[in-house]
A and B are shown apart, each in its own frame.
Chain A
Amino acid sequence: QKEVEQNSGPLSVPEGAIASLNCTYSDRGSQSFFWYRQYSGKSPELIMSIYSNGDKEDGRFTAQLNKASQYVSLLIRDSQPSDSATYLCALFRGGGAGSYQLTFGKGTKLSVIP
């Protein structure tokens, strides 16, 4: 089992709808969770971080974390064509000897249809 699993998509949603992106992870010792957005040909950019169980909202974005189920999701409300990108789930485990390794999933490609 890969450490971070994401459905590669593509996930297509109509403009104005809610896009739901999901991620599961295998390491129960994971401490912090991140969602990065990556436009084609560009570098990943951080859009959300979440550390505790529950929901965290930031504008049109809501991250949800359930550590018992080892599940983290990202909801995008009122999806816009400009949201079309690949969304990368990442987690920070915090290893021994000062390791701060951030592990990424393969990403889910989102397409918002006008």
Chain B
Amino acid sequence: GAGVSQSPRYKVTKRGQDVALRCDPISGHVSLYWYRQALGQGPEFLTYFNYEAQQDKSGLPNDRFSAERPEGSISTLTIQRTEQRDSAMYRCASSPGGRTGNTIYFGEGSWLTVV
């Protein structure tokens, strides 16, 4: 596609429910990132994929958070047993890959509200 596509754009869920957020990166981009952004803050790194390999998950807050990219394209971020503190904008980003400055392009984000 022309840009990074995320769905759903808005999600309201009850505390304790599981949520899956989807990301479709720019066609041909091998690197995919998940970030979380709270109001008034910069994006906070969660995890990084190179093709289908999850090469860095050091930013995932706890074991309720997981991510996959099984075919090296679309990725899913799953939050199990959601808590109110999980409420935030979740942004996916992609880049062509390699070490060429690592310019990344963000999607419009998925706004999660846990009630």
Contact = CB atoms under 8 A, between A and B. Distances in A.
A16 to B, nearest CB: 28
Interface residues of B, number: 26
Contact of A43 (B31, B40, B48, B106): B106
B102 to A, nearest CB: 5
A71 interface: no
Interface residues of A, number: 27
Interface of A: 4, 8, 32, 34, 42-46, 49, 51, 88, 90, 92, 94-95, 97-107
Contact of B105 (A8, A46, A49, A98): A46
Interface string B58-100: 1100000000000000000000000000000001000100010
Nearest to B107: A43
Which 7 pairs across A and B sit closest by C-beta, in order of nearness?
A104-B42, A43-B106, A99-B56, A98-B55, A92-B102, A104-B43, A106-B42
A72 to B, nearest CB: 14
B40 to A, nearest CB: 7
A32 B103 CA distance: 10
A14 to B, nearest CB: 25
A103 B45 contact: yes
A44 B37 CA distance: 11
